[in-house]
């Protein structure tokens, strides 16, 4: 781990630009985002000392699980739990990439980068203040 990282749990937060609360929204996205906020930091910590081969294997396993049982992830079913776990592990793998990952209303990264939504809390958004 480098000195300029976000620490053992990375930075995982709700994407402030994510849209939720649509009339047809049953709360699924918010519940999934809340679940990811809880689980992704643990998988980032778990993968912290992983080798490149272990990360490749985690990526492949998550991809296969989500591709095979993504419907269970969204609508429930026999593989819902394992699919959601695979999604969180996939987020943890993608958080290692430069710029992290932003999807499903959640942003995760393991090191500071330009345009990080986590930086907006401390840096004024000039576009927003000009309105």
Under the binding rule (CB under 5 A), the answer on residue 44 touching Zn ion is no
Smallest gap from residue 119 Cβ to Zn ion (A): 7
66: nearest Cα among 81, 88, 86, 80? 86
Structure tokens given for 82:
């394992």
Under the binding rule (CB under 5 A), the answer on residue 111 touching Zn ion is no
Smallest gap from residue 94 Cβ to Zn ion (A): 11
Under the binding rule (CB under 5 A), the answer on residue 116 touching Zn ion is yes
How many whole angstroms separate alpha carbon 68 and alpha carbon 110?
Answer: 28
Smallest gap from residue 13 Cβ to Zn ion (A): 8
How many whole angstroms separate alpha carbon 83 and alpha carbon 66?
Answer: 6
Structure tokens given for 16:
């402030």
Under the binding rule (CB under 5 A), the answer on residue 88 touching Zn ion is no
Which range, of 31-39, 46-54, 78-86, 100-108, touches Zn ion by CB under 5 A?
Answer: 100-108
Closer of 33 and 116 to Zn ion (Cβ): 116
- Residues counted in the chain: 131
- The single residue among 10, 90, 100, 105 that binds Zn ion, judged by CB under 5 A, is 100
Under the binding rule (CB under 5 A), the answer on residue 58 touching Zn ion is no
3-state secondary structure of 78: coil
Task: State how beta strands 101-103 and 11-14 pair.
Answer: unpaired
Q: Which residues form the interface with Zn ion (CB under 5 A)?
A: 100, 109, 116
């Amino acid at each position: 781990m480098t000195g300029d990282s976000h620490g053992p749990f990375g930075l995982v937060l709700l994407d402030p630009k994510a849209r939720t609360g649509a009339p047809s929204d049953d709360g699924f996205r918010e519940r999934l985002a809340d679940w990811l906020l809880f689980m992704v930091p643990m998988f980032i910590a778990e993968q912290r000392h992983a080798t490149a081969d272990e990360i490749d294997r985690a990526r492949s396993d998550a991809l296969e699980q989500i591709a095979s049982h993504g419907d269970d992830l969204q609508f429930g079913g026999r593989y819902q739990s394992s699919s959601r776990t695979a999604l969180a592990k996939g987020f943890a793998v993608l958080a290692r990439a430069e710029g992290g990952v932003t999807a499903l209303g959640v942003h995760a990264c393991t090191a500071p980068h330009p345009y990080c939504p986590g930086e907006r809390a401390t840096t004024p958004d000039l576009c927003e203040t000009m309105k």
